[in-house]
Amino acid sequence: MSKKTNVLPGFNLSLGYTLLYLSLIVLIPLSAAFIKTTELSLSEFWNIVTAPRVVASYKLTFGASLIGASINAVFGLLTAWVLVRYDFFGKKLIDAFVDLPFALPTAVAGIALTAVYAKNGWIGSILEPNGIHVAFTPLGVVIALTFIGLPFVVRTVQPVLEDLESETEEAAASLGANRWQTFYKVIFPALLPALMTGFALAFARAVGEYGSVIFIAGNMPMVSEITPLIIITKLEQYDYTGATAVAVVMLVISFLLLLMINGLQWWANRRNAEAI
């Protein structure tokens, strides 16, 4: 039996290049943030990262990111379903619009959203008289983070949905399952790992988002100020250790949340494999 050959180099060499590249691009820059915080004593570090203004920004940043990613998980799945399962006039155009947040500069997105949802904007002029304030409020932050996170869910779920065989749905229908049962017991379990991946990507992008948020947020301390803005403010004040301290907390919390999401994704994949 002939030995199997690979186009790429062997495992050891490929793994070495992978670890080297990952270290240069990700691990070394991130470790620099941790090293910078060693200039602070434990009490100084704690006082910086638990200041009321900083804690309020944590709540807004992570809360709005989770809400935005959850909204995208629902409507991103619906959008991917429409694009895959139906043919209609303008489908290609709508498919292109999905990628617009990828290509649009974040500052332009923030200005556009502010113009639309401001008191005199197209949508804001309708919402404001009814007591719904969007621009310069936490609700505006959620809308901005939802806007920039939609493509992650759609583009993650779409190829899985395209590969899903329609015969499985027909088989479920022939066995007496209604539409809801077919979706919940046949389609959704197959889509769940991809949906959770899209959710994690949308959440990760939202946590670090800056450009599209600062224009519509209003940046009011304790109300609508996001954590990335606090980091930028500290850098502008030459408080590098304070900025890195807040950044380290953001990094640790984000990593733990993503680790939990990846654990749920692993569980969903294992559950599907056992079901098959």
Q: How far apart are CA 123 and CA 113, in angstroms?
A: 10
Q: What pLDDT is attached to residue 3? A: 54
CA-wise closest residue to 262 among 176, 203, 217, 188: 203
The answer to whether residues 166 and 112 touch, using CB atoms and an 8 Å cutoff, is: no
183 pLDDT more than 90: no
Helices and strands, number each (H, E), in the chain? 15, 0
DSSP 135: T
The residue written with tokens 């769940």 in the block is 192
The answer to whether residues 241 and 39 touch, using CB atoms and an 8 Å cutoff, is: yes
Q: Which of the four pLDDT bands, split at 50, 70 and 90, describes residue 8?
A: low
Q: How far apart, in Å, are the Cα atoms of 96 and each of 31, 45, 107?
A: 38, 46, 20
State pLDDT tens for residues 99-156.
Answer: 988 888 888 989 999 999 988 888 989 998 888 999 899 999 999 999 999 999 999 9
* Structure token digits, residue 95: 């498919």
The SS3 of residue 36 is: helix
The CATH 1.10.3720.10 domain(s) of the chain lie at 41-275
Q: How far apart are CA 155 and CA 95, in angstroms?
A: 10
What is the separation of C-alpha 271 from the centre of its chain, rounded to a whole number of angstroms?
24
Q: How far apart are CA 33 and CA 240, in angstroms?
A: 10
The answer to whether residues 19 and 219 touch, using CB atoms and an 8 Å cutoff, is: no
The answer to whether residues 70 and 199 touch, using CB atoms and an 8 Å cutoff, is: yes
* Structure token digits, residue 190: 């197959």
State pLDDT tens for residues 24-74.
Answer: 888 888 888 888 888 889 999 999 999 999 999 999 999 999 999 999 999
Q: Which of the four pLDDT bands, split at 50, 70 and 90, describes residue 168?
A: confident
Q: How far apart are CA 2 and CA 189, in angstroms?
A: 40
1 pLDDT more than 50: no
CA-wise closest residue to 210 among 184, 193, 229: 229
* Structure token digits, residue 177: 């399952």
CA-wise closest residue to 182 among 163, 162, 164, 168: 168
Q: pLDDT over 90 for what percent of the chain?
A: 39
Does residue 244 come out as left (phi exceeding 0), alpha (psi in the -120 to 50 range) or beta?
alpha
* Superfamily of the domain at 41-275: MetI-like (1.10.3720.10)
